[in-house]
Structures are given as structure tokens and as C-alpha cells.
Structure 1
Amino acid sequence: MTVAETSHPASVQRGSDFAKLSRRIAQEGLLDKRPGYYVVRIGLVAALFAGTWALFAAIGDSWWQLPVAVLLAVAFAQVTLLAHDLAHGQIFRSRRTSRIAGLFAGNLAVGLSYGWWMDKHTRHHANPNHEEHDPDVAPDVLLWSERQVEVSRGIPRFIGRWQAFLFFPMLTLEGLNLKVSSFRALRRTSLKGRKTEGLLLSAHVLAYMGAVFLVLPLPKALLFLVVHQACYGIYLGCTFAPNHKGMPVLTSEDELDYLRRQVLTSRNVRGGHFVNTALGGLNFQIEHHLFPSMPTANLRRAQPIVRDYCASLGVDYVECGLLESWGQALRHLHEVGRPLRQVRT
């Protein structure tokens, strides 16, 4: 089952607000596949990925490898964004083809368990920003709501005081965290194709570490790994954080229909073609959450339709610039941590 399937409501009443919007979107052909777009995008990302590794091999033992580590982080992030589109069924009609491609892009190319991440992302799409059901706002380390602050203990409570200031430094560990979580997921019997996932993840680690330590001496190799993984984590965090952080956090007391649940918890990011490319289309987060199987290239065309429709319903439609989106997320984190800063320890 794909993210696209599970994130749509199981049944939509014919006269519901979302059903009316969905019919309009379908009539415009915005749910149709875009093979030409993805051929070009996959080709460019593959060229960036392979070209960066070729540059790494050509430069050899040199401190100039540090800029290459930054470039490789960009390549890894772009591959990860393609894996995201594969999980949503945006590229191929066949689930099997999407899964195979996702395993190669996720597990083998960047060391991210495609099956584990898809399960996690499915739950996020079904209940975005829901503190009881969305794993992206679980209080593992950061605290996202006053209720989480009240019951917090240990590390989250300690970090929560100044989590807004620690957010970006902590993102440097996100790349490593994803790899560790991917290998931990292999212990779950519910993970489909665990052996295949494990083999591909292991192959990635061996090839990745082998290439770095074969070309670079130990000090440079270690620094290359630190720079690469830190930049990869920051890139991913800056891609996903602007979408929901700082938006309303829901609980079981909030009874919203599908359209309002997706729109009110999401934020669009303005910025033109550069931001659209850098964020892999996720800057159109509202449209993506309403229609997760919509090809990235169609999200921009869907935006005015969705925005005008929300205005006609009186549903808040939030969009802002990239820096402002980060600011809203950080201000929310700082405000949530206020009660902890007022408690004497």
C-alpha cells in the first residue's frame, strides 16, 4: 500500500468540500502522470549524483574534498526527494516498479530504508501535526505542544528549554539519525522485504565508507563524513520543517474533515523556481497534502485553484517566504518551551 493510497480519505462523500475540489482538479488533468518531467528530473539528479562521486575520485587526497562533501549532500537530498515522489506513486503507475525504484534510490543510493520511511510518512499524511498519531511531531527529542511539555521527562524536557536555538545544530545529526533508524527498522517483522532492505542498506554503507576511506587518509575521511552528513541533515531539515512546524498541532479533540485537516496544518513556501527545485516541490505543501499522488510538476498549476477554493470556504490558506517559514517554526518551538524556562531547576 502506497502513501498516496493511505493518505486519501477512505471514502469521500460525493457532496463534501474535498470531493468538489477533487473533481475540479481531476477535470484539469492535474492528477495525470508526467513521464517527460520525471525523465528529465531523474536524469539530472542521476547526473549530479554520479558526477559528484566522479569528481570525488578525480580530486583524490585533497582538502578540496570538503566542498565536494557539501555538493554530495545536495545530491543525496535530491535523491531522497525523488524517493519521496516514488513513495507517493507520482512517477510510476505500478506499485511494484515504484517500490523497486524506491529501494535503489533510498536504501542503496543514500542509505535510507524505503519501507520504514514510507510507513512513517504514511502515518504523517493520514494525521498531519496530530500529536497522538503523527510521528513527525512525536516528543522524541523536541517538544511541539504545551501538552507534550507538561508530560515531558528526561532529554526532551532538558532540551525543550532552548530547543529553538538547538534546532539547526541538531539537524546536523539528522542524516545519521535516519541511517540508524533505518537499520533499527530491520528488526521489525512488519517491515516488508527485510532481507532485501538489509542487503541494500549494507551495500550502501560498504560502498560509501569504502570509497571515502580508499581515497582519503583517516583525518580527511572523517572530516569529509562529518561535513557530508551534517549538510545532508540540514538540507533535509530545511526542506521538511517549513511545511508544518509552527502550524496548529491537533489532538483527538479536534474533529476536522479531510480538507481542513490537511490545509490548516500545512504551510506553502513562496520563492520561485529556485525554491521549487531546492525543496523538490514540497513548497506547495498544501496541494501536496490534499493530492499526494499529484506529480510535483502539477502542484504549481493546482495552487491557484486550491487557494481560491479555500478562500470561498473561509479556510485559512497559509503561505510565506522561506526565511519567514523557518522563523515561524522557530518561534513556535521557543514559545512551547517557555514553561520549562520559567521552572526553577
Structure 2
Amino acid sequence: MGATTLYARRDVAARILAGECLIIYHNLLLRIPQSWVNTHPGGSLALLHFVGRDATDEIEAYHPDMTLTMVKSYSIGRVELVDGAWEPLVPPIMTGWVRISNSDGKMEWYREATAAISTENTPQCPSSQILLVDKDLSPRSHAPTFATLSPPPTDLSLKVQVRHSRAYRELHKRIVDAGLYKTPYLTGYGPEILSYILLGITSAYAYSHNWLITSAVSLGLMWHQLVFTAHDLGHNGVTHNWTLDRLIAIVIADFIGGLSIGWWVDNHNIHHLVTNHPSHDPDIEHLPFFVISPNFASSLWSSYYKRVMHFDRFAKIVIAVQHKLFYIVMAFARFNLYALSYGFLWKKATDMKRRTRGGRWAFWLEVIGLVFFWTWFGAVLYGCGSWQKALLYLVVSHVVTSPLHVQIVLSHFSMSTADLGPTESFPHRQLRTSSDVICSESISMIHGGLHLQVTHHLFPRLPRHNLKRASKLVKEFAKEQGLTYAEFGFVDGNKEVLGVLRGVAEQVKLMGKVAKAEAKEAVEKKIAAAERKAV
């Protein structure tokens, strides 16, 4: 079948149910082979979340022109449009279905979780919402059906979403024409590299004079600043060459910072694509320490972590006071990044399919980098002279990086976590789930330019130093399209996040009281029934 073949929606659904990975790009039907799903540099989930959907905006936002010319080679035809638009299907993974290899080496459907479709229609739980919960062990079908791929009702207009999408593509063209994808090496990274070197030298000099606190603070500040460049490299936003960007990123993240850039890219891509979705975005899945939606009380299944996020007794206790623990937990967030990094690399090492993703050289270089990191940092801790001083150095150097973690959550924790379904366009979703942190130019370096999260989420490959200029165009776009561009000051943003955490904590307490009242009522009914029976 050639590029002239026209596929109706039912035809596309049938092929997806037969096991094909089909994605729409500029009305072309792309068939992604399983080998590429397994080895896609952006991770397999980045593809699986768009099966049956129009991913034109996402594909162009995440890939350079050279890659886009290759994308069309996967085309097997065109799709049939209704009123000039593709009516989306629900990707199987969003209803708990995945493809796995059976004992014979053949791919087959496997239901990893149960889809819980909203029975109400509120801003927090819209009718379009599909959340995943622990797998129901009762007899069910052994494969998804056409009904599984059919989206629940939504209040969104497909026509309006298509209009947003088309306007976004015009905006993207304006961004390109303005030269904002050109990296300002000298004026952008020049001063930053000097600051990295200065902080490193200060830390080493202070350490040599036994000024351990000064050394630890300087080292923490250097890590804090280096993360911004590692972030850019992970998005291929510096040299725009995947291999070169990844090589530099490994040196910065793994060798100097002790964190896996491979994990960060895998995690961060999904965060960008399904931002603030309780069942799919790993960046808001922080049980038992934080939840930003009462939906987490249902012990949701995470399609990223492949496990149930249990809302157990310990979680209930912690979540009830999460707004009081927020800054304490954030102070030690870097330790959690170590755990996530090393867990990812371990899984990658034991899973041959994941091991090929991004090149084996990158995996082994990361392993070498982490060994190097703990060798030099271990020597630093050992040289402090006592375990008490080493512990103090460890804690101080890591706590200094905590403002970065606070800043990141400010841009999403206070925003919507509702699932508006596959009808929602890329720009609508990003503006609904992201916000900016307003700050003066004099302290923008502290935020690394990533306080402009709205624009960054719309154009993830855009060099960080050009986000401010681009944000002016984005604000014009939002105003023209009737979309909200959210932004808060740093203090107000903190108040918003704490307000969300406090609100959810109060709802959890209320749910606990209701559950106790219902349990007490049930017991009283049983006692009364037993007494009547005895009489």
C-alpha cells in the first residue's frame, strides 16, 4: 500500500487492535515498527501515548528538521478526516493495555491495569477522564476492543482544538523565522561556564583550607547551576546534535553531578507529553510524600513506574500534613534523584530492549561516570576528617540545591491535573498544566531561565536563553486563541502550591472521617441486626 491509500477511522482502529503502532502526522498514517518502539531515543512511552492520535505538534516540537524528513518514511497512507480533522482514538496504554512478548517470543496484548472512567463531569473529574487503577482480577477480555479505543465524552470542541493546533504551527514558524533556535553560545553559555568554573574553584579552595561549609555551599551552587545546562542538553537544545549533546550531558550530569542523564531524559520526555496526568506523568507521582489531586487516594497505577501507587496508612498520615512537610522534603529531594537514576540504569542493564535505547555507549559511559563521581565525591567526604563533618558536608551540599526542586514544582503543582482526553490539542494542554514564575532580570540566573515553563513546554528544544523573547510571542498567541497564560511571582507561586497541598490534605482528612463514619454505621447495623435475630 502506498501513500495514496486512505484509511478510515475504523480501519486504523482495527490495525491498532491487531498490534500495530500507528500515529498520525500531517494526516499521514505512520506505522512504527516494534524495533523502533523499543529503541526510540525518547523512550517507548513517548510513542505509545500517541497511538491513534494526531501527534503532529508533538513530533515537530521534539525533533529537528533532519529527523522530520525521516519521519515520513514510516507513512503507509493517509487518514480520512471529518470536517478537516482526525477524530482521535484513545491509546491502548491509557486504558491499561500494553504489548508484551510471550513465551514463544510473539507479541500479545496484556492488561497491566484497569481503566477507571469518570462517572461525573466536574473540573477536577471531567467526563473525559481515564485513570488507571490496580488490575481487576475478575474475568475480562484478553485484548482491547474498539470500545476500548473510543474516547469518553468531552466538553472540548474538536474544531476549536484543531484551530489552536493550526495557530500553534504558525507560532512555531514565527519562532523559527525569528532565529530563536540558534544557540547563543557566547552571550548565553559564556557567562554560565565562567560561573561554573568560579564556583568549582571556590569550593576546592575553601576545602583545602578546611572551610567545609563554604566548600559545600559552593559545590551545591555549582550543581544547582549545572543542572540547567544538563537540562538543555537533554532536550538537544545546545548543539542540536543528539550524540554531541548527550556526550556533554553525561559529563555534566553523571561525572560531575552523580545523576543519570538517561533517566532524566526518559522521565522528562513523558512529563512534557502527558503533563500533570495522575496516571502517566512521573513528575507528579510522589506518593507517599505528596499528592496534588484527591484522585491519588484511589491508589492509582503508574504507566511509567509500572506499579500501583498505594495510598496506604503511612501515605494517609504523611499526606494529611504534606503542606507542612513540603520544604523539608524538598531539601532532600536530590537523594531521591539518585535512587531514581540508579533504579533506571539497573532496569536498563537487565532489559536488553531498553539497553539499546540511545546507544550502548551512552549506557556504559553513564556507568563509568557514576563510578567516577562517587570516587571523587567519596574522597571529598572521607577527607573531611570525621563522619560527623562528612555528614554535614553531604547534607549542606545537597540542601543548597533544593531551591531548584521548589522552582520546578511551582510551575505544575498548582495547575490542573484533569484528563481532558485525546481531543485536547498540544498547546491547550501545555498552557492548562504549566505556569511561569515571574522574576526580575537581576535574579533570573538563579532560575536558569526555566522559570518560563509555559514557553519551554511549548518549545522544549528552544535554547533556554531565548525563552524570554519567545514568551512574548507565546503570550500574543494565547491572547489571540482565548487561552490562559498563567504566571505567578515566586512568593505567590509558593502560596499557590502550599494552598493546593493543604486543600488535598484537608480532603484526605475529610475522606478519612467519612470512611470512619461509614464503618461505624456498618458495624452498628450489624449489631442491631444481630440483636433483632437474637430476640
**TM-score, normalized by the shorter chain, greater than 0.5:** yes
Name the residue aligned to 2:403.
235
**Richer in strand (by share):** 2
2:479 aligned residue (304, 308, 311): 311
Q: Which moved more, 1:68-77 or 1:163-172?
A: 68-77
Q: Aligned-pair distance for 1:218?
A: 2.5
Distance in 2 of aligned mates of 1:256 and 1:221: 51
Deviations 1:59-113 (A, max 9, x none): 22xxx42233223211111111110011111111211110110100000101110
Tell whether 2:237 aligns with 1:90: yes
Tell whether 2:296 aligns with 1:296: no
Q: Aligned-pair distance for 1:139?
A: 4.2
What is the one-letter code of the residue matched to 2:231? H
Name the residue aligned to 1:159.
318
User: What does residue range 63-82 of structure 1 map to in structure 2 within 5 Å?
Assistant: 64-82=211-229
Check the 8 A contact 1:107/1:197 in 2, yes or no.
Answer: yes
Name the residue aligned to 2:395.
226
For the aligned residue pairs, the C-alpha RMSD in angstroms reads: 2.2
Q: Aligned-pair distance for 1:49?
A: 4.0
Distance in 2 of aligned mates of 1:167 and 1:254: 33
Check the 8 A contact 2:292/2:501 in 1, yes or no.
Answer: yes
**Richer in helix (by share):** 1
Q: Aligned-pair distance for 1:224?
A: 1.2
Name the residue aligned to 1:120.
267
Name the residue aligned to 1:143.
291
Distance in 1 of aligned mates of 2:255 and 2:496: 35
In structure 2, the CA distance between the partners of 1:274 and 1:43, relative to structure 1 (3 Å rule), is same
Check the 8 A contact 2:196/2:225 in 1, yes or no.
Answer: no
Q: Aligned-pair distance for 1:10?
A: 2.7
Unaligned runs of 5+ in 2: 1-40, 47-54, 62-161, 300-310, 517-535
Tell whether 2:209 aligns with 1:59: yes
Q: Aligned-pair distance for 1:48?
A: 3.2
Check the 8 A contact 1:268/1:286 in 2, yes or no.
Answer: yes
Name which one, 1 or 2, has greater alpha-carbon Rg.
Answer: 2
Give identity over the alignment, percent: 25
1:108 aligned residue (247, 250, 255): 255
Tell whether 2:144 aligns with 1:33: no
Name the residue aligned to 2:413.
245
Distance in 2 of aligned mates of 1:48 and 1:179: 25
Q: Aligned-pair distance for 1:264?
A: 1.2
Q: Aligned-pair distance for 1:260?
A: 0.8
Tell whether 2:167 aligns with 1:17: yes
What is the one-letter code of the residue matched to 1:221? A
Distance in 1 of aligned mates of 2:264 and 2:195: 20
Distance in 1 of aligned mates of 2:188 and 2:245: 13
- Structure of higher RCO (CA pairs closer than 8 Å, 6+ residues apart): 1
2:340 aligned residue (148, 171, 181): 181
Q: Which moved more, 1:152-161 or 1:115-124?
A: 152-161
Q: Aligned-pair distance for 1:115?
A: 0.3
Distance in 2 of aligned mates of 1:94 and 1:254: 31
In structure 2, the CA distance between the partners of 1:274 and 1:157, relative to structure 1 (3 Å rule), is farther
